[in-house]
Amino acid sequence: MATYEYRCLDCGSFEIHLPIGTATAVCDCPVCHFPAPRVFSAPYLNQVPTGVTTALAREEQGREAPEVVTSLPPGRRRPPPEHPALRRLPRP
């Protein structure tokens, strides 16, 4: 079953679940029964996790007004992880 979205001019958007490939270009609105045209939209955008939504909003805001960093964040600097094969290399 696939989800198809239709938009009624009076009532707004609604979804219908039908077998794949059986959706028509126009469907009757379940509320007012007037014909509503089919709308093509990206799937499952209303089910995006909150963390992803927050990250996307922050990224979009950064396009217009990027955050300027003037110093390193506080904290201890850790050395990069050492690969075991690097131990066998000669040291200067």
DSSP string, the chain: -EEEEEEETTTEEEEEEE-TT---SEEE-TTT--EEEEE---TTGGG--HHHHHHHHHHHHHHHSPPPP-SPPSSPPPPPPPPGGGGGSPP-
pLDDT at position 31, please? 93
pLDDT at position 30, please? 93
pLDDT at position 9, please? 92
Each of the 92 residues of the chain gets a pLDDT tens digit; together they read: 888 999 999 999 999 999 998 999 999 999 999 999 999 877 666 677 888 888 888 888 888 888 888 887 787 777 777 888 888 888 77
Indicate yes or no: pTM above 0.75: no
